[in-house]
């Protein structure tokens, strides 16, 4: 299991939202590039980037910056946010991104998604973002009719090999992760799961680490790092031991 520090970007700045609410935005760092380098220096083996402008339909706004981030580190970078067409995917790969996260497109265009998974394979991850068990899409602004676990079964059939599972009710709240939901997602799908949302302390990380045998392979955290509650170095070391 690995610890994956997160960088959420709006207008070129590192920010964090509460439960995906753009009106509850906190800016933390001026330079996402310097932030990524710092994460690498502290031992991170993968960086998670969400382009919040792209999630709102402004896909070009931060693309050059994302390329600079990827070029500034020697570790893989995964990116999500507003990726709804093949050209979005190939543009990110051309920037040096290792893995691209799909979300809304899975729900709105499943046949096209399956085609993309057939083409790009394990370089695509399924982003399942849910609140009270129901999947939300379009930058978390729309509620779908699917439960998170129904979508988990769907993405397995599509050929995805990894799920990034986010409990929106926990995201940015520093209240601890949904251990039960994370474990259920891994066991019901049989896929590798990266857990996101609510990670607020080293104790939370240790709790999720117990799910490794269930198929949980990574933990994403952002706000807790920026507010000094979690050291990237310590979190990485805890998961290595």
Q: Which tens digits make up the pLDDT trace of 140-187?
A: 677 787 999 999 999 999 999 999 999 887 655 567 899 999 999 999
* pTM recorded for the entire structure: 0.91
Q: Is 129 a catalytic residue?
A: yes
Across 2-17, average pLDDT: 88
On the 0-12 / 13-18 / 19+ scale of CB atoms within 10 A, 94 is exposed
Q: Which tens digits make up the pLDDT trace of 196-224?
A: 988 999 999 999 999 999 999 999 999 89
Across 30-42, average pLDDT: 94
List the structure tokens of 175: 């209240």
Of 51, 53, 129, 171, which residue is the catalytic one?
Answer: 129
Percent of the chain clearing pLDDT 90 (strictly above): 73
List the structure tokens of 183: 């474990």
More confident residue, 23 or 72: 72
Q: Is the pLDDT of residue 19 over 70?
A: no
Q: In the 8-state DSSP scheme, what is residue 131? A: E
Going by their DSSP bridges, the two strands 13-18 and 2-10 should be labelled as antiparallel
In the CATH hierarchy, which fold is given to the domain comprising 2-240? TIM Barrel (3.20.20)
Going 170 to 175 to 176 to 180, the CA torsion angle's sign is negative
Q: What is the pLDDT of residue 172?
A: 56
Domain-wise residue ranges, the chain: 2-240
Of 8, 167, 171, 204, which residue is the catalytic one?
Answer: 8
Q: Is 41 a catalytic residue?
A: no
- The contacts found for 69-72 with CB under 8 angstroms, 24 or more apart, are 69/7, 69/32, 69/33, 69/36, 70/95, 70/96, 70/97, 71/95, 71/96, 72/33, 72/36, 72/37
Q: What is the pLDDT of residue 22?
A: 54
Q: What is the pLDDT of residue 25?
A: 56
Q: What is the pLDDT of residue 11?
A: 86
Closest CA to 117 of 139, 101, 129, 104: 101
| Average pLDDT across the chain, whole number | 91
């Amino acid at each position: 299991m690995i610890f994956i520090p997160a960088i959420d970007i709006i207008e070129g700045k590192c920010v964090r939202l509460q439960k995906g609410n753009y009106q509850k935005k906190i800016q933390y760092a001026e330079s996402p590039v310097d932030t990524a380098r710092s994460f690498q220096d502290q031992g991170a083996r993968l960086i998670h980037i969400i382009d919040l402008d792209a999630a709102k339909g402004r896909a070009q706004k931060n693309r050059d910056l994302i390329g600079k981030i990827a070029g500034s580190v020697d570790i893989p970078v995964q990116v999500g946010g507003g990726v709804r067409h093949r050209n979005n995917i190939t543009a990110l790969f051309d920037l040096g991104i290792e893995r691209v996260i799909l979300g809304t497109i899975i729900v709105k265009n499943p046949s096209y998604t399956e085609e993309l998974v057939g083409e790009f394979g394990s370089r695509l991850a399924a982003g399942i973002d849910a609140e009270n068990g129901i999947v939300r899409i379009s930058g978390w602004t729309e509620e779908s009719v699917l439960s998170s676990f129904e979508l988990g079964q769907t993405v397995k059939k599509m050929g995805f090999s990894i799920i990034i599972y986010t409990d929106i009710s926990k995201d940015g709240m520093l209240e601890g992760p949904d251990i039960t939901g994370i474990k259920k997602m891994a066991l019901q799908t049989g896929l590798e799961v990266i857990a996101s949302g609510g990670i607020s302390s080293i104790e939370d990380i240790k709790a999720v680490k117990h799910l490794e045998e269930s198929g949980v392979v990574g933990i994403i955290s952002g706000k807790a790092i920026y507010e000094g509650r979690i050291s990237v170095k310590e979190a990485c070391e805890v998961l290595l031991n």
